[in-house]
Amino acid sequence: MQDKKVRKIFNSISFRYDLANFFISLGIERYWRSRFLKMISGCEKKILDACCGTGYSTFGIAGRIKNDGIIYGVDFSSEMLEIARLKSERHLSSAAREQNMIIRFMEGDVTCLDFEDNYFDFITVVFGIRNVKDRKKALEEFYRISSDKSRLLIMEFNYPQNKFIRKIYDFYLAFIMSNLGAIITGNKEAYSYLAESIKNFPDVISFCTLIREAGWKILKVRPMTFALCTIYFAIK
């Protein structure tokens, strides 16, 4: 799907995005996010949360950082960022406050970022890379702006390979997720897109190849819950 359409979809569901996520994943998403956060050492200083959306991932990551680092949340949907900035004003995580952690939200396309070479020591992408049209370009851009030995941590959905699980998942995508998403956000098209984007996302092996082709060395691949979601951990 074209970037313009993806942006339009996220702009249209921004105000109910966090709520819809919880319900359509039947709560499992929170567990996946907690597993993801546990893979952050906390010593990182300059962090990019790419495709940060409403900042759900960004605030979670900020809460894990043990020092006074800076975290940039970048997204190309102005409405998703608007929610992130509102949340930032209202309830910036107490952990982030205590550590003088700086959180900045910026509008931008992750395939062409306005940061200098070798700037970041940690890059995260939570349920975002699936939506990026030119994923290779984004992974290369992350490589360019990362310093030597920087880490890349990505979490993304997968379309299950097991035929039995796939049947159940197809039912869930077509009837539960699409309908719940449509009821909560009033936008059925957005949740049909979400289902399609999960089906069209490369399998774990192909996505690992793409990460490697962009220059990264993969350290860990962690599939979760019948491989419905995978965490990819790589180093420059």
Ligand X SMILES: C[S@@+](CC[C@H](N)C(=O)[O-])C[C@H]1O[C@@H](n2cnc3c(N)ncnc32)[C@H](O)[C@@H]1O
Name the residue whose CB lies closest to ligand X: 53
* CB nearer ligand X, residue 194 or residue 234: 194
Query: Does 88 contact ligand X by CB under 6 A?
Result: no
Query: Does 77 contact ligand X by CB under 6 A?
Result: yes
Interface residue with ligand X among 132, 153, 228, 234 (CB under 6 A) is 132
Interface residue with ligand X among 88, 93, 131, 185 (CB under 6 A) is 131
- 92-111 positions binding ligand X, by CB under 6 A: 109-111
* CB nearer ligand X, residue 104 or residue 217: 104
Interface residue with ligand X among 44, 75, 121, 156 (CB under 6 A) is 75
Interface residue with ligand X among 20, 24, 40, 51 (CB under 6 A) is 51
Q: Count CB-CB contacts under 10 A for residue 38.
A: 9
Q: Which of 152, 101, 148 is nearest to 124 (CA)?
A: 152
Q: CB of residue 35 vs ligand X: minimum separation in angstroms?
A: 13
Q: CB of residue 99 vs ligand X: minimum separation in angstroms?
A: 21
Q: CB of residue 150 vs ligand X: minimum separation in angstroms?
A: 19
How far apart (Å, rounded) are the C-alpha atoms in residues 21 and 95?
Answer: 24
Q: Which residue has the tokens 């990019």?
A: 48
Q: Which residue has the tokens 């959306």?
A: 53
Interface residue with ligand X among 16, 47, 57, 121 (CB under 6 A) is 57
Interface residue with ligand X among 59, 105, 127, 143 (CB under 6 A) is 127
Q: CB of residue 32 vs ligand X: minimum separation in angstroms?
A: 10
Q: CB of residue 167 vs ligand X: minimum separation in angstroms?
A: 25
Q: Which of 109, 125, 102, 116 is nearest to 147 (CA)?
A: 116
The amino acid at 224: M
Interface residue with ligand X among 6, 24, 139, 198 (CB under 6 A) is 6
Q: Which residues contact 74 (CB under 8 A, 6 or more apart)?
A: 48, 49, 50, 51, 52, 105, 106, 107, 108, 110, 113
Query: Does 181 contact ligand X by CB under 6 A?
Result: no
Are the CB atoms for 130 and 229 separated by under 8 Å? no
Please, what is the Cα angle at 16 between 13 and 19, to 5 degrees? Answer: 135
Instruction: Catalog residues that contact ligand X under the rule CB under 6 A.
Output: 3, 6-7, 10, 51-53, 56-57, 75-77, 80, 109-111, 126-128, 131-132
